[in-house]
Amino acid sequence: MHSVRELLSLFAMNPSAESHSIPLSDGNRIPLLGLGTYGDPRTTPKGTALECVKLAIDVGYRHFDGALVYFNEHEVGQAIREKIADGSVRRQDIFYCGKLWNTFHSPELVRPALERTLEALKLDYLDLYIVELPIAFKPGNDFYPKDGDGNYIYHHTDLCATWEALEACKDAGLVKSLGVSNFNRRQLELLLNKPGLRHKPVSNQVECHPYFTQPKLLEFCRQHNIVIVGYCPLGSSRDASWVNVKCPPLLEDELLVSIGKKYNKSSAQVALRFNVQRGVVVIPKSFSPERIKHNFHK
């Protein structure tokens, strides 16, 4: 965690323009602030993503982070298309990131998976497509295959072969940029050192916030012109199945709250600004209209 002085100096800097974006190594650009669109499909009412993405576009968001396994890409795509149709935005104004799920790592399954996302969105191309995890599950219709004992069924695949299939998708014009998620240094080096590499990963999406600043990974990625995209920028999910909910939430941290009071900002806005001013892209997830607006004015 940074010192009080470091956080204060970061926050006192002139704020970036709301639409600010940074360059990717392949010549494209990515907005520093995006909206995460995950919602538990078991509890999120239908139409929620549709209305929230439309609102977000009206507020000023241009970057949306989604995935096939969120089961709502059809709503996100509909929202984008409706806002294009009413003249609010053009397709080239929107940056959409999709993800290759674990059951589609086999090279012959990569393009069909990407095409499923495009079909759900009803868009012609993705701006960024990333390998969601550096592990593979058994291919099939079940996204979370388990054995009789309830253990996940993994599948041996070659990440370099998966990457080559992604490179072919980029060459075919289905996606503009390629990246990864949850990769450590060794896994990144595996791709960067791959013989015949034609398109290097431009981004690595990982958990990143003031409690988990990822200094070593951030420095390695900077050295290789890989942008860090931080998910959970407001702190880890409070899911009791994998987080100790007895620990205080990040947004109640005394340091963040005190900085917020000094600058008349919330602790959430301070946490977002902390990463943005380090060049880390942030994709806070929210289906709350008020928080969507609040987070944008970081």
Contact (CB, 8 A) for 125 and 117: no
Q: Which residues contact 49 (CB under 8 A, 6 or more apart)?
A: 37, 39, 72, 75, 76, 79, 287
Contact (CB, 8 A) for 109 and 143: no
The two tokens of residue 254 are: 């005394």
Mean pLDDT score, 253-282: 95
Query: Could you tell me which residue, 203 or 246, shows the higher pLDDT?
Result: 203
Q: What is the pLDDT of residue 16?
A: 40
Number of domains within the chain: 1
Q: What is the pLDDT of residue 241?
A: 77
Q: What is the pLDDT of residue 236?
A: 79
Residue 282, CA distances (Å) to 29, 64, 84, 115 in order? 14, 11, 24, 26
Percent of the chain with pLDDT over 90: 87
Percent of the chain with pLDDT over 70: 93
Evaluate if residue 11 carries a pLDDT over 70: no
Q: What is the pLDDT of residue 146?
A: 98
Mean pLDDT score, 174-201: 98
Residue 63: inside a domain: yes
Contact (CB, 8 A) for 35 and 64: yes
Evaluate if residue 232 carries a pLDDT over 90: yes
Burial of 240 (0-12, 13-18, 19+ CB in 10 A): exposed
Residue 20: inside a domain: no
The residues pairing with 180 across neighbouring beta strands, listed in sequence order, are 131, 204
What are the backbone angles phi and psi of residue 256, rounded to the nearest 5°? -65, -40
- Cα distance from N-terminal residue to C-terminal residue, the chain: 20
Tens of pLDDT, residue by residue over 213-225, are: 999 999 999 999 9
Residue 3: inside a domain: no
Tens of pLDDT, residue by residue over 68-106, are: 999 999 999 999 999 999 999 999 999 999 999 999 999
Residue 61: inside a domain: yes
Residue 10: inside a domain: no
Distance CA 133, CA 197 (A): 20
Mean pLDDT score, 180-208: 98
Q: What is the pLDDT of residue 15?
A: 40
* Domain harbouring 176, CATH code: 3.20.20.100
pTM (predicted TM-score): 0.92
Residue 256: inside a domain: yes
The two tokens of residue 146 are: 């388990």
| Mean pLDDT, rounded, of the chain | 93
Distance CA 239, CA 285 (A): 14
Distance CA 275, CA 147 (A): 40
Evaluate if residue 210 carries a pLDDT over 50: yes
The two tokens of residue 36 are: 């995460």
Tens of pLDDT, residue by residue over 119-146, are: 999 999 999 999 999 999 999 999 999 9
Q: Provide the strand spans (E) within 152-226.
A: 175-181, 203-207
Tens of pLDDT, residue by residue over 12-39, are: 444 443 448 999 999 999 999 999 999 9
Residue 9: inside a domain: no
Q: What is the pLDDT of residue 189?
A: 98
Q: Is 152 a catalytic residue?
A: no
Q: Which domain holds residue 192?
A: 29-297
Mean pLDDT score, 40-54: 95
Residue 209, CA distances (Å) to 91, 270, 283 in order? 30, 11, 11
- Considering the candidates 38, 61, 70, 129, report the single residue annotated as catalytic: 70
Q: Which residues contact 185 (CB under 8 A, 6 or more apart)?
A: 216, 217, 220
| SS3 category, 212 | strand
155 is in an annotated binding site: yes
Mean pLDDT score, 165-171: 98
Residue 16: inside a domain: no
Q: Looking at 48-57, 177-186, 224-233, 248-257, which range is the least confident one?
A: 248-257
**Alpha carbon 247 to chain centroid distance?**
25
